[in-house]
Amino acid sequence: MAANANLYALLETRFAARPTATAFEFADASTRSYGALGLEVARMANALVARGVAPGDRVMVQVEKSFTNVLLYLACLKAGAVYNPLNTAYTAAELEYFIGDAKPKLLVIDPSRATALQPIARTAGVAHIETMDPAGAGSLAAFAADQKSSHKTAARTLEDLAALLYTSGTTGRSKGAMITHQNLSSNALTLVDYWGFTANDVLLHALPVFHVHGLFVALNTTLLAGGKILWQTKFDLPTVMKTLPQATVMMGVPTFYTRLLGEPAFGRDQCQTMRLFIAGSAPLLAETHTDFEARTGMKIVERYGMTETGMITSNPYHKGERVAGTVGYALPGVSVRIADEAGAKLGFGEVGVVEVKGPNVFKGYWNNPEKTAQEFRKDGYFISGDLAMMAADGRISIVGRAKDLIISGGFNVYPKEIEDELNALPGVAESAVIGLPHADFGEGVVAVITPVAGTKLQSEAAIIAHLATRLAKFKLPKRVFEVADLPRNAMGKVQKAELRSTYAKTFAS
């Protein structure tokens, strides 16, 4: 009989090997050992089964970050269910679409939303609704507390679903990415080795857990290594400053690092025990990378991944240079190529679309075989939609999203090239470059910039004049707008679709 490919079957062997070791440490200094973690996961898994959840059933979860939510994720794996986390910012109207599409057996929501969502869930045929508040308390936790602490992990194959994650839906309706047990286990095993994780590691966890970064990359990797997780419900600067000296690893979005750098007291003293800072989910400015090294003596490891693929590339940890502005090399076992629109492989230094193949690549889009077929090449490569170029040694630099490509006067304009120039200007904290409808050029280049706190920026004309000394004329912004902050999603990514909407009529006659 083949070994059980359930990711939890792999994890529980690690839990059993270190039953007294601390798995989680909380803000109040209380802890949870690996042995206790396994017992609580078993109770939660039994609660799911008692609510009629069978292998393959979806468990939709829209709750705040809590340890109970982690138990629910692990219990879904153990019971063979499909964990379906949703951004807590989604409205009831948006949830109606997700519920109708995923058809979950169980819906877990904040108690404050129960009244609004019950009729929607009933109409969609959801069998059960349970509640979980920001502290992790609620009907589900109470029900699980009365369950037995032993549970036989469900048998799963490599291709069975472990999770269903909806993409951000920047174009059209959000699509459910089907994530398999193989996708998760292969990525976690690779990252443990590539980033040098051991049971001695202590991860500062301040990321949300409805997203690949905080849920799969941070949790799976650390739990697989048998390390300790310093659990924080959110990124709070004073708390992070206080906790860093107890950690060895931190994973964060770029805004974590810019906020740390904005604290004058932050520096080498807080980082004496740290061996690894990892950045992802949004591009890390080269300036942030450089400033962080100057302040701490440590280079952030930037990596690149997607909901559909988990982690694809990473700057090296053990050997090799961590180069600012790049996302490093394809991870072991992952094949990456840069291709044109037809899928033909491009040469080194040429800009094209990132295409990826490997055990980390998802199974396809839920209930959407047509879209799945469109996003894969005949040879199995997934078309990421990200624009990048590859150096001769295989190092990859992300240029932007294909949908963000600007075609002005028949010329291709890559926003990142202009953003790099803008970000280098005195007083500019960050920039976003977009293309907007233009009667003469098809699209006109527009820049939106934010100032460094307390700084007065140059005039629009002065900025454009400076860029004219650095860039070809067709790349120059026709307008430059200053804002206090750029719009972002929960993971820190700049929402260019929102900027395009805001400034849509800039060139209207």
pLDDT value of residue 1: 47
Q: Is residue 287 part of a domain?
A: yes
CA 344 to CA 407: how far, in whole Å?
A: 21
By CB neighbour count within 10 A (0-12 exposed, 13-18 middle, 19+ buried), where does 247 fall? Answer: buried
- From the list 222, 162, 224, the residue with the least C-alpha distance to 360 is 162
In a shared domain, residues 61 and 158: yes
Using 50 as the pLDDT threshold, list the residues of the chain that sit under it.
Answer: 1, 169-171
The pair of structure tokens assigned to 220 is 């799976």
Distances (CA, A) of 395 to 35, 194, 265, 326, 495: 41, 16, 34, 7, 27
CA 331 to CA 352: how far, in whole Å?
A: 19
> Domain ends where: 401, 417, 437?
401
CA 81 to CA 487: how far, in whole Å?
A: 35
For residue 342, give every residue at least 6 positions away whose Cβ sits within 8 Å of its Cβ, in sequence order, or none: none
In a shared domain, residues 117 and 240: no
In a shared domain, residues 292 and 383: yes
In a shared domain, residues 42 and 155: yes
For 424, phi then psi, to 5°, come to -80, -10
> Domain ends where: 401, 426, 441?
401
Please give the biggest Cα pair distance in the chain. Answer: 71
| Buried residues in 296-312 as b, exposed as e (16+ CB within 10 A) | beebbbbbbbbbbbbbb
CA 129 to CA 114: how far, in whole Å?
A: 8
Q: Is residue 218 part of a domain?
A: no
Strand partners, 73: none
Q: Is residue 220 part of a domain?
A: no
In a shared domain, residues 456 and 386: no
Q: Is residue 293 part of a domain?
A: yes
In a shared domain, residues 257 and 329: yes
For residue 441, give every residue at least 6 positions away whose Cβ sits within 8 Å of its Cβ, in sequence order, or none: 408, 409
In a shared domain, residues 413 and 473: yes
In a shared domain, residues 265 and 135: no
pLDDT value of residue 155: 98
Q: From start to end of 232-282, where are the E strands?
A: 249-252, 276-279
**How are strands ordered across the β-sheet holding 58-62?**
128-131, 106-109, 58-62, 82-85, 161-166, 176-180, 364-365
Angle 75-78-83 from CA coordinates, rounded to 5°: 60
Q: Is residue 73 part of a domain?
A: yes
| pLDDT single digits (tens) 117-133 | 999 999 999 999 999 99
Q: Is residue 320 part of a domain?
A: yes
End-to-end CA separation in angstroms for the chain? 71
CA 256 to CA 233: how far, in whole Å?
A: 14
Q: Cα 444 vs. chain centroid, distance in angstroms?
A: 31
3-state secondary structure 9-58: HHHHHHHHHCCCCEEEECCCCCEEEHHHHHHHHHHHHHHHHHCCCCCCCE
**How are strands ordered across the β-sheet holding 31-33?**
31-33, 22-25, 228-231, 202-205, 249-252, 276-279, 301-306, 310-314, 329-330
Q: How many residues appear in the chain?
A: 509
Residue 476 belongs to a domain with what CATH number? 3.30.300.30
CA 179 to CA 415: how far, in whole Å?
A: 31
Q: From start to end of 234-345, where are the E strands?
A: 249-252, 276-279, 301-306, 310-314, 329-330, 335-339
In a shared domain, residues 180 and 44: yes
Q: Is residue 194 part of a domain?
A: no
In a shared domain, residues 368 and 484: no
| Buried residues in 178-215 as b, exposed as e (16+ CB within 10 A) | bbbbbbbbbbbbbbbebbebeeebbbbbbbbbbbbbbb
pLDDT value of residue 170: 43
CA 471, 474, 479, 482 dihedral sign is negative
- From the list 44, 52, 98, the residue with the least C-alpha distance to 69 is 44
| pLDDT single digits (tens) 25-78 | 999 999 999 999 999 999 999 999 999 999 999 999 999 999 999 999 999 999
pTM for the whole structure? 0.85
Residue 87 belongs to a domain with what CATH number? 3.40.50.12780
Q: Cα 332 vs. chain centroid, distance in angstroms?
A: 20
In a shared domain, residues 318 and 392: yes
CA 475 to CA 345: how far, in whole Å?
A: 26
Domain count, the chain: 3
Structural domain including 120 reads 20-184
> Domain ends where: 401, 424, 443?
401
pLDDT value of residue 137: 97
For 87, phi then psi, to 5°, come to -55, 135
Q: Is residue 381 part of a domain?
A: yes
Amino acid (1-letter code) at residue 59? V
pLDDT value of residue 4: 96
Amino acid (1-letter code) at residue 60? M
CA 7 to CA 194: how far, in whole Å?
A: 19
In a shared domain, residues 356 and 275: yes
